[in-house]
Structure 1
Amino acid sequence: MRADLLIKPTDVLRQAGWRPGRNAGDAAMLAILKTAAVGHWALFPAAEAAIREFHGLRIAPAPGGGRVVAATGCVVDPQEARYAGPPLSRLGDTLGTRLFPFGRTDNEAPLALDEDGRLFTLGVGGAWLLGETAREGLVGLAEGAMPVRLRSRERLWPLSGMPADLAAAVRAALVAVYVLHHTGVYSARALRLRVTTLRGVGILALDETFALRPGRLDASAEPLTQAMTDQLAGAGLSPRGCELALGVPAPPGTSGPLTTLECTITLGGPAGRPTLALSAGMGASVGRTAEVLDACERAFAAWAARQ
């Protein structure tokens, strides 16, 4: 069941003039048109529905100081955030969705909705998810509920028991391919080898992509290792004097937050031992992307613990 259906209307909304079935009508549409004309914003159904329902409300913070964080009031009027185009556009690109202005908080932070109807704000500490729906977000803001901070994620797992050689790194990278596919992140079709010299400031000496063979993943291990070894030799490089990073790039056509994901097996670098790393941009901290990456992290942690 959708989260907004589980949330009962609260006093903060009723006191501001909200009621079930509310529709601000022409006033809401006029505000939408004026907003779109200034910032070239593209309207979508979730934004129109929420603005029609809540436009014109001035929601006061609930008394008592807030449940978890400070309670904050707001005004719902897309024109109040129409000039926040650049930062909201960047946030939308990071999240892999479009945003439309919704209003502003009493702290002058812009409010915006995405195509799924989620309510976001840009304030102290960066970007925040206030609620999975406009109603949930408005209530949470006014009552001082804890918002979700949007932040990049990065995890490292030392692979202390893994041999520090290219063949072992290839096998580990193929395990990563399997985990990413099995947990629903994406189905990789290649490995990317990046080689950095360890002399001076370090120079990227090789950056090549090697396609996986059709069929079983383990059948690709030996051919990939040989192809990479030949490439290193052809470039006059020795694994012993370099840092090798074997990445599992997203396949063509991947969009949204997953385009920022990097999964890499590194060996021969300053860390001195093989390491598995997983990172993604802040758009991966919410929604379906966050769920699949949580599952992926659990699988990687369990595998790394066995090495």
Structure 2
Amino acid sequence: MTGVLMRAGWRPDRDTGDAAMLAILTSAAVGAVSFPAAERALREFHGLHVLPADTGGREVAAIGSVVDPREARFDVPSLHRLAGSLGVRLFPLGRTDTDAPLAVDEHGRLLMLGPGGPWLLGETVYDGLSALAEGIAPVRIRAPRWSFPLPDGPADLGAAVRAALVAVYVLHSAGLYSGRALHLRATTLRGIGVVAVDEDFPLGPGSLDSSAEPLLAAMTGRLDASGARAAGCELTLTIPAPPGTEGPPATVECAVTVGSPAEPPVLTLSAGLSASTGPTATVLDTCARSLAAWSVAPAGA
């Protein structure tokens, strides 16, 4: 996909030097904070006006762009908010011909803040500008979320505990984090919905299988002490991230819900926007595949 960029004036080892640095300094004056990947990208691509390919687009409409961070200077606050959600620094790079701001992140990827939120155009600025002009469909950046029905069987507290322990195993095996407790939130189904129990139950020593019965007994005892019955509550078991978990893994939430009048028994796996790309996204995909296989496995398998 070199043609569109070559026609715009790009060439290997292009370096716009002072012009790029002046544009960076001008953008810094309105709050943008530079970093090495942004400087490298602007030295190579600053000043290009990339025209859309004559073919009209391979997958979506081909769109041209201008590479000049000053074209996106009024979008710096929006890019700061997006950077906070993604957990990665962003620097304005330019603007598309459809008036969407472009930004480069600290990993050198090209992003667009367009209709429906942020979009990943390419793993490099070169690939992203080429894809935009060639009409290659971008990847929408979404907060990841999956839902899995519990396998057939009684949808009770025991089933929720067993499902949650499966999730503990999956999260640990994939290298995301090792859960040390299950958190039970029990909300009564009658009246205004009183929260009867809302606390952590530590996993016991030994295998996860051996933890199931003690956890079930402890949770049932706590429900009894509160005057509630498991069968009369919406029960949600979550797996808290261990203390000290940082970055995208800290945004991961895994929950099992049974007894809800609004939805069937379900296990959900979700995370923040910062986990939508990179290593955490890859690990989450692995977890999702494992949980999907568990969800459809025959009872007792």
Name the amino acid aligned to 1:280: A
Alpha-carbon spacing, 1:82–1:213, altered in 2? closer, same or farther (3 Å): farther
Structure 2 residue ranges without an equivalent (≥5): none
Using the aligned pairs only, state the percent identity.
Answer: 62
**Which of 79, 82, 93 is equivalent to 1:91?**
82
Query: Equivalent residue for 1:118?
Result: 109
Query: Equivalent residue for 1:299?
Result: 290
Summarize deviations over 1:91-116 as a string: whole Å, max 9, x none. 22222211111111111111111111
Summarize deviations over 1:172-221 as a string: whole Å, max 9, x none. 21110010111232222221111122124534443212222344222322
**Contact kept? 1:46, 1:116, Cα under 8 Å:** yes
Query: Equivalent residue for 1:25?
Result: 17
Summarize deviations over 1:54-73 as a string: whole Å, max 9, x none. 11111111112111111111
Summarize deviations over 1:233-280 as a string: whole Å, max 9, x none. 232221111100101122233333333322111111115753212223
2:92 maps to 1:104: no
Name the amino acid aligned to 1:278: L
Query: Equivalent residue for 1:245?
Result: 236
Name the amino acid aligned to 2:139: V
**Which of 8, 13, 18 is equivalent to 2:5?**
13
Q: What do you get for the CA RMSD once the two structures are aligned? A: 1.9
Alpha-carbon spacing, 1:141–1:190, altered in 2? closer, same or farther (3 Å): same
Distance, in Å, in 2 between the alignment partners of 1:256 and 1:93 is: 11
Name the amino acid aligned to 1:138: L
Alpha-carbon spacing, 1:26–1:293, altered in 2? closer, same or farther (3 Å): same
Distance, in Å, in 2 between the alignment partners of 1:144 and 1:258 is: 33
2:189 maps to 1:189: no
**Contact kept? 2:151, 2:296, Cα under 8 Å:** no
Name the amino acid aligned to 1:171: R
Alpha-carbon spacing, 1:248–1:45, altered in 2? closer, same or farther (3 Å): same
Distance, in Å, in 1 between the alignment partners of 2:125 and 2:264 is: 47
Cα offset, 1:48, TM superposition: 1.2
Name the amino acid aligned to 2:106: E
Name the amino acid aligned to 1:123: G
SS of residue paired to 1:72: coil
Alpha-carbon spacing, 1:20–1:166, altered in 2? closer, same or farther (3 Å): same
Alpha-carbon spacing, 1:23–1:214, altered in 2? closer, same or farther (3 Å): farther
Alignment of 1:1-307 (within 5 A): 10-39=2-31, 41-200=32-191, 202-270=193-261, 273-306=264-297, 307=299
Name the amino acid aligned to 1:198: L
Name the amino acid aligned to 2:27: T
SS of residue paired to 1:304: helix
Summarize deviations over 1:28-68 as a string: whole Å, max 9, x none. 111111212211x3322111111111111111111121111
Runs of 4 or more, structure 1, over 4 Å off, are none
Distance, in Å, in 1 between the alignment partners of 2:273 and 2:38 is: 22
Aligned length: 298
**Contact kept? 1:118, 1:131, Cα under 8 Å:** yes
Stretch deviating more after TM superposition (183-192 or 293-302): 183-192
Distance, in Å, in 1 between the alignment partners of 2:274 and 2:291 is: 21
Name the amino acid aligned to 2:101: P
SS of residue paired to 1:230: helix
Name the amino acid aligned to 1:85: V
Structure 1 residue ranges without an equivalent (≥5): 1-8
Alpha-carbon spacing, 1:56–1:303, altered in 2? closer, same or farther (3 Å): same
TM-score by length of 1: 0.90
Name the amino acid aligned to 2:38: A
